[in-house]
Amino acid sequence: MSAATSIEAPFLLGMMRLHEVVELHSPLRMADWIEARLDEGLIWFDHADIYGDNQGEALFGAALRARPALAERIRVVTKASIVASVRDASPFGVKHYDSSPEYLTQSIDASLTRLGVERLDHFLLHRPSPLMDAEATGRALDAAIAAGKIAAAGVSNFLPAQWRRLQAVMQHRLSAHQLQLSLDHTQPLFDGTFDALVGDGLVPLAWSPLGGGRVFERPAERLLAELAEERDMTPAGLALAWLRALPGRPRPVIGSLRAERIAALHADAREELDRPTWYALLEAARGHEVA
């Protein structure tokens, strides 16, 4: 992966809930929010066309148009391939996945327009489709890279056989894999998925890195709180440190848009976990010791 597309960040700022935060619907106020994050050194923003049914990208783009200088400082990940039922033009009105060249090309162009950027730093296939024609999809992604529309292509929620089938027919290397991973969801660490993506050189991006708050409700809650207090950090920051201790240093995609919470997680990002602490948290989260 080139330096231009390398994702070096303690976490990415997820935009899934942006359309729900009314106070950030003002382009100028949203521009202030983006600029504050950039000044903190947080430059990576994670989008998807399905977030808010295009609203997330549109609101972000309106802020960039209100303050054009910001566009040169940000780095964007966005995703497509999920067609919501309300967007299905067929008589069925069914939610489905579409990784056809025509759909992906239109999606890339639409995201560029909504976001108001000249290039998407990473474009990910949001979900794998059993109907994917890997060769056709691969050609479309390679063409988008060649045209300068995207800097790198990746996947999300794919199994190893699925991304390898796509990679085998592409000229460019797949860049990243966004997967569900947290103390609340450790399955990828034990079913071969995580080892495969690290072995294949994909940057791991962890969505729902706090399990939607479930990491604080399950058996690990008490230990997280105790260790966080000892280390003068937040339990959430400790849960993210647990993720970053893994090979490939997964980049969490956090969902909060609150400035004070983001600042706290950024301050906690310096924390490194030793092996016994990492396993103690794993044991607490799973409710049993390792074999």
Amino acid at 286: R
- CB of 28 closer than 8 Å to CB of 64: no
Using CA atoms, how far apart are residues 268 and 214, in angstroms rounded to an integer?
20
- CB of 99 closer than 8 Å to CB of 137: yes
Task: Look up residue 125 and give its two tokens.
Answer: 């296939």
Question: What residues are annotated to the active site?
Answer: 51
Q: What are phi and psi of 112, to 5 degrees?
A: -60, -40
Query: DSSP secondary structure string, 135-203?
Result: HHHHHHHHHHHHTTSBS-EEEES--HHHHHHHHTT-SSPP-EEEEE-BTTB-GGGTSSHHHHHHHTTPE
Task: Look up residue 65 and give its two tokens.
Answer: 């148009």
CB burial readout 193-222, b (16+ within 10 A) else e? bbebbbeeebbbbbbbbbbeebbbeeebee
Using CA atoms, how far apart are residues 282 and 245, in angstroms rounded to an integer?
12
Amino acid at 289: E
Using CA atoms, how far apart are residues 247 and 238, in angstroms rounded to an integer?
17
Amino acid at 26: S
Q: ∠ at Cα 281 (197, 7), nearest 5°? A: 35
3-class state of residue 22 by DSSP: helix
